[in-house]
Amino acid sequence: MSAAGTVLSVRHLCKSYRAGQPVLTDINLEVMIRSITAVIGPSGTGKSTLIRCINRLVEPTSGSIMFEGTDLIRLRRRELREARRRVGMVFQEYNLVERLTVMENLLSGRLGYVSAWKAWRRSFPREDIERAFELLNIVGLEGFADARADSLSGGQRQRVGIARAVMQQPSLLLADEPTSSLDPKTSVEIMQLLTDIARDRGIPVIINMHDVGLARRFADRIIGMAGGCVVFDAVPGLLADDALKKIYGGEDWMH
């Protein structure tokens, strides 16, 4: 039922943490290959929940999520883990394993393919290690392989976070407010890096964000959410004041 070039198709997705109090109501969206989709909306409107429902870090209540020919909602344990390998994720607070080195964090992106015992002994396949070093150069952290994650700055950590997600060789990247903990200049650099890497590899990205300016600048599609529903879905050029009013409510903040 999905058109060619569709990577992800979310249908009638609903989520409520408590019965009768839906956080997401009837979300429908399709994500095409090579697209950069920004999801904007006020805090607490379910952006994070939406993104976590897609790789099922949060269990959806109902609906379907078609990804690479399977409905993610129906998958169990092993199948779910295998599907998760194909979805990379970048986090607001980077979520690196602080006490491990940069290289170990990058290689943790391969954990879906390497047994726990081998991972414990740090015996990763040679091609993984070589790709990790290449990626480290691409994200601008050459020479940091041995640095411990907790010794890095916020921007550097997010670079590691992006590299870890790309190490999975994913067909979809999810980013949950990747720049919300960063200063404005670093935010732009991180967004540039994330979108460049995704475009180079043809990986579609869904990015939750708070910064409407950054969303306009880097995304080729903007989804506006309010009260757990999609209230806007179009190219950035169409995101006018009335749309923003619908998403965030009020208008004093715009001026």
Partner 1 sequence: MVTSTAHRLAVLRPNRWARLGALLLLAYVVYATAQMDVSWERVAAGLHNAAHFLTRLLPPTFSRWELLSNGLLESLEIAVLASTLGIVLSLPLGFIAARNLMPGWASWPARLVIVSARSFHPVIVAIVFVKAVGFGALAGILALTVASIGFIGKLFAEAIEEISLKQVEAVRATGASFMGIVAIAVLPQVFARFIGFCTYQLDSNLRNSTMVGIVGAGGIGGTLFAAFQRFDYDYVCAILISIIALIMIGEMVATYVRAIFIDGMTFAEMFHRRLSALGTRPERRFDDE
| Total residues at interface with partner 1 (CB under 8 A) | 34
The DSSP code for 206 is E
Distance between CA atoms of 204 and 220, rounded to whole angstroms?
11
Q: Indicate whether 57 belongs to the interface with partner 1 (CB under 8 A).
A: yes
Distance between CA atoms of 29 and 38, rounded to whole angstroms?
12
- Interface region with partner 1, contact rule CB under 8 A, candidates 12-20, 107-115, 221-229, 242-250: 107-115
Q: Which of 132, 117, 13 is nearest to 66 (CA)?
A: 13
Minimum distance, C-beta of residue 94 to partner 1, in the bound complex (Å): 8
Q: Which is nearer to partner 1, 96 or 219 (CB)?
A: 96
Q: Indicate whether 68 belongs to the interface with partner 1 (CB under 8 A).
A: no
Q: Indicate whether 4 belongs to the interface with partner 1 (CB under 8 A).
A: no
Q: Indicate whether 177 belongs to the interface with partner 1 (CB under 8 A).
A: no
Minimum distance, C-beta of residue 190 to partner 1, in the bound complex (Å): 16
Q: Indicate whether 183 belongs to the interface with partner 1 (CB under 8 A).
A: no
CB-based contact 190:223 (threshold 8 Å):
no
Q: Indicate whether 70 belongs to the interface with partner 1 (CB under 8 A).
A: no
- Interface region with partner 1, contact rule CB under 8 A, candidates 14-22, 160-168, 206-214, 222-230: 160-168
Q: Which of 113, 106, 102, 147 is nearest to 129 (CA)?
A: 106
CB-based contact 39:209 (threshold 8 Å):
yes
114, 145, 226, 243: which one contacts partner 1 (CB under 8 A)? 114
Q: Indicate whether 93 belongs to the interface with partner 1 (CB under 8 A).
A: yes
Q: Which of 16, 17, 31 is nearest to 66 (CA)?
A: 31
Distance between CA atoms of 133 and 127, rounded to whole angstroms?
10
Q: Which is nearer to partner 1, 168 or 221 (CB)?
A: 168
Radius of gyration of the chain (CA): 18
Q: Which is nearer to partner 1, 54 or 222 (CB)?
A: 54
CB-based contact 157:96 (threshold 8 Å):
yes
Q: Indicate whether 95 belongs to the interface with partner 1 (CB under 8 A).
A: yes
Q: Indicate whether 168 belongs to the interface with partner 1 (CB under 8 A).
A: yes
Q: Which residues contact 9 (CB under 8 A, 6 or more apart)?
A: 1, 2, 29, 30, 31, 64, 65, 66, 67
Q: Which is nearer to partner 1, 59 or 93 (CB)?
A: 93
12, 17, 59, 112: which one contacts partner 1 (CB under 8 A)? 112
Residues near partner 1, by CB under 8 A: 55, 57, 81-89, 91, 93, 95-100, 104, 108-112, 114-117, 119-120, 161, 164, 168
